[in-house]
């Protein structure tokens, strides 16, 4: 590779300060150091967590290159890298898998302690960045920074995928889709013939519906306060649809009546502690399992102890419980083998230069998430045309649990009101 060992100058969308449009700049991307790889990013999703950092986060980590749901091609590798070669198709991972730490060695967890998040979770950026722009160090968001034509990651946070996979589709597996799907399959362990309820039908909830369906659930009840989501949920396998606003009684009572005492599995995909409680109470006593997927650190949750004493289990799920390096390539294979859907999440196509339009769309529109294509030459090679894709949106944005006001200014919807 002509560029190996050299600084690469390329385009990236730089956030210089909060609440301002990103600026397409020429940045310098340093060569990968020991155990690192440099990746040419081909496509990336735009998640709510990118917007959260830009519009709401208080941590003031700037300048920064956002983006964490991408797919690309290895351009060069640093010393000590044996697992990757230039040309490998890869997905950057915001949860690492070192294979050596206590958490990687256990089959019970995917929370590797060697990744960027172990130390820098508070600012969601990698201090030890390989980016500079106009003489300034530029931070890497969530250890990844996929709104750049090139990025550098430690090899413990990169998944090698089937070269046949279309990168503009499988980039979706870098975040929300694995989260919802895995929460159903890995964490809840949904069983064939079971009855499930999924609360919240954004990208994560729709992926949870898909997980329940693939696991063989016979009845999947989709719950959302926005009935426009129901049509899409049907595509992923939902059989019944409930809008809590259509009912006078608590939603767990409605579900209990519909299912002769409660569902076998429920998944909360809203990030609302009131809904988390409803989801638990919607489970049947004796064996019901409820999984918290939605994220918030704004409020505590509560429930009556009898709910658990009576035999229900309450669990949480991070990135769908997938060990990232192992799980993401398997999900890519599942897509190629038509076991899971990805195309159906996609609603728009855009380019990296349109990143601010994509962000604007998300702000107004709510729960869609754009995927941006970075290199037109690669797009031609892979797809004959420039593509960008909008998918259903994402993550890490807190919601107000029980009032008429959404905490987030970028969310389309929240709460019951
Ligand atoms: N655990 C993880 O690893 C992880 C990873 C990614 C995202 N998340 C979280 O998952 C959640 C969902 O993400 P998303 O991108 O799909 O969000 P989203 O905003 O696109 O979707 C949320 C859905 O919930 C619905 N909703 C809101 N209040 C409701 C209520 N009271 N009852 C029923 N439905 C309600 C909304 O109408 C919307 O359709 C977020 O909280 C996000 O932070 C968690
Ligand atoms: Zn994300
Ligand atoms: Zn580890």
Domain boundaries, the chain: 8-176+321-408, 180-317
Return the C-alpha torsion angle 204, 206, 209, 210, nearest 10: -100
The whole-angstrom separation of Cα 22 and Cα 42 is 19
CB 218 within 8 A of CB 194: yes
pTM equals: 0.87
pLDDT value at position 121?
53
**Nearest in space to 172 (alpha carbons), one of 335, 289, 27:** 335
Mean pLDDT, the chain, integer: 86
Encode pLDDT of 244-283 as tens digits.
999 999 999 999 999 999 999 999 999 899 999 999 999 9
Q: Give the up-direction half-sphere exposure of residue 165: CA atoms within 13 A in the CB hemisphere.
A: 34
Q: Show Cβ contacts of residue 351 under 8 Å, excluding neighbours closer than 6 positions.
A: 372, 373, 374, 376, 386, 388
Q: Is the CB of 415 under 6 A from ligand 1?
A: yes
User: Pairing state of beta strands 240-242 and 219-223?
Assistant: parallel
pLDDT value at position 196?
98
Shortest-distance atom of ligand 1 to CA 49: 43
Q: Give the up-direction half-sphere exposure of residue 209: CA atoms within 13 A in the CB hemisphere.
A: 30
CB 215 within 8 A of CB 192: yes
CATH architecture, range 180-317: 3-Layer(aba) Sandwich (3.40)
Shortest-distance atom of ligand 1 to CA 319: 3
Q: Is the CB of 202 under 6 A from ligand 1?
A: yes
Q: Which ligand is nearest to the CA of 110?
A: 3
pLDDT value at position 360?
87
Q: How many CB atoms lie within 10 A of CB 61?
A: 19
Strand order in the sheet with 289-292: 240-242, 219-223, 195-199, 265-268, 289-292, 313-316
The whole-angstrom separation of Cα 383 and Cα 376 is 10
**Nearest in space to 279 (alpha carbons), one of 186, 177, 193, 401:** 401
Shortest-distance atom of ligand 1 to CA 200: 24
Encode pLDDT of 39-74 as tens digits.
999 999 887 778 888 987 777 789 999 999 999 999
Shortest-distance atom of ligand 1 to CA 392: 20
Q: Is the CB of 317 under 6 A from ligand 1?
A: yes
**Nearest in space to 245 (alpha carbons), one of 263, 267, 230, 262:** 230
Buried-state track 5-27, b at ≥16 Cβ within 10 A, e below 16: eeebebbbbbbbebeeebebbeb
Q: Show Cβ contacts of residue 33 under 8 Å, excluding neighbours closer than 6 positions.
A: 78, 79, 130, 152
CB 358 within 8 A of CB 351: no
Task: Please check the confidence at residue 122 and state whether its pLDDT lies above 60.
Answer: no
Task: Please check the confidence at residue 85 and state whether its pLDDT lies above 90.
Answer: yes
How many angstroms is it from 319 CA to the middle of ligand 2?
10
Choose which residue among 177, 270, 279, 396 to substitute to test ligand 1 binding: the one with the highest number of ligand atoms within 8 A of its C-beta: 270
How many angstroms is it from 15 CA to the middle of ligand 3?
30
Shortest-distance atom of ligand 1 to CA 318: 3
10 Å CB burial of residue 268 (0-12, 13-18, 19+) is buried
Q: How many CB atoms lie within 10 A of CB 131?
A: 25
The residue whose CA has the least distance to atom 33 of ligand 1 is 224
Q: Show Cβ contacts of residue 1 under 8 Å, excluding neighbours closer than 6 positions.
A: 75, 76, 86
The whole-angstrom separation of Cα 387 and Cα 373 is 6
pLDDT value at position 90?
98
pLDDT value at position 416?
20
pLDDT value at position 398?
30
Q: Which ligand is nearest to the CA of 319?
A: 1
The residue whose CA has the least distance to atom 14 of ligand 1 is 394
pLDDT value at position 125?
62
Task: Please check the confidence at residue 332 and state whether its pLDDT lies above 90.
Answer: yes
The whole-angstrom separation of Cα 319 and Cα 111 is 9
Choose which residue among 200, 246, 370, 392 to substitute to test ligand 1 binding: the one with the highest number of ligand atoms within 8 A of its C-beta: 200
Average pLDDT value for residue range 329-338: 98
The gap from C-alpha 395 to its chain's centroid, in whole angstroms, comes to: 6
The residue whose CA has the least distance to atom 23 of ligand 1 is 200
User: The domain 8-176+321-408 is classified under which CATH number: 3.30.310.50, 3.50.50.60, 3.90.180.10, 3.40.50.300?
Assistant: 3.90.180.10
The whole-angstrom separation of Cα 110 and Cα 96 is 8
pLDDT value at position 389?
43
pLDDT value at position 65?
95
Encode pLDDT of 289-311 as tens digits.
999 999 877 789 999 999 999 99
């Amino acid at each position: 590779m002509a560029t190996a060992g050299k600084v690469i100058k390329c385009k990236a969308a730089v956030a210089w300060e909060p609440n301002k449009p990103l600026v397409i700049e020429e940045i310098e991307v340093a060569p990968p150091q020991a155990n690192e790889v440099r990746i040419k990013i081909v496509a990336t999703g735009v998640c709510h967590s990118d917007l959260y950092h830009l519009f709401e986060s208080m941590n003031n980590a700037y300048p920064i290159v956002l983006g964490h749901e991408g797919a690309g091609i290895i351009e060069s590798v640093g010393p000590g890298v044996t697992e990757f070669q230039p040309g490998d198709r890869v997905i950057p991972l915001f949860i690492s898998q070192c294979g050596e730490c206590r958490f990687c060695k256990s089959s019970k967890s995917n929370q590797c302690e060697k990744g960027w998040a172990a130390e820098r979770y508070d600012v969601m950026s990698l201090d030890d960045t390989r980016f500079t722009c106009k003489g300034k160090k530029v931070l890497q968001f969530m250890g990844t920074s996929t709104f750049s034509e090139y990025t550098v990651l430690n090899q413990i946070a990169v998944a090698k995928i089937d070269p046949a996979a279309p990168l503009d589709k499988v980039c979706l597996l870098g975040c929300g889709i694995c989260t919802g799907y895995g929460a159903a399959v890995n964490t809840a362990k949904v069983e064939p013939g079971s009855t499930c309820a999924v609360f919240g039908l954004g990208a994560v909830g729709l992926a949870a519906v898909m997980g329940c369906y693939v696991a063989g659930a016979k009845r999947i009840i989709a719950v959302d306060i926005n009935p426009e989501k129901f049509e899409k949920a049907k595509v992923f396998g939902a059989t019944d649809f409930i809008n809590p606003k259509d009912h006078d009684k608590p939603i767990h009572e409605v579900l209990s009546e519909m299912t002769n005492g409660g569902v076998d599995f429920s998944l909360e995909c809203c990030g609302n502690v009131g809904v988390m409680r409803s989801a638990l109470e919607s489970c049947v006593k004796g064996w019901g399992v409820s999984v918290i997927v939605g994220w918030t650190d704004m409020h505590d949750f509560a429930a009556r102890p009898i709910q658990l004493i009576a035999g229900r289990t309450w669990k949480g799920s991070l990135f769908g419980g997938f060990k990232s390096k192992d799980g993401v390539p398997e999900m890519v294979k599942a897509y190629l083998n038509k076991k899971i859907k990805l195309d159906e999440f996609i609603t728009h196509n855009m380019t990296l230069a349109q990143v601010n339009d994509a962000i604007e769309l998300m702000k107004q529109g709510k729960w869609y998430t754009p995927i941006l294509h970075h290199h037109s030459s690669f797009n031609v090679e892979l797809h004959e045309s420039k593509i960008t894709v909008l998918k259903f949106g994402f993550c890490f944005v807190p919601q107000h649990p029980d009032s008429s006001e959404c905490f987030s200014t970028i969310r389309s919807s929240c709460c019951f009101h």
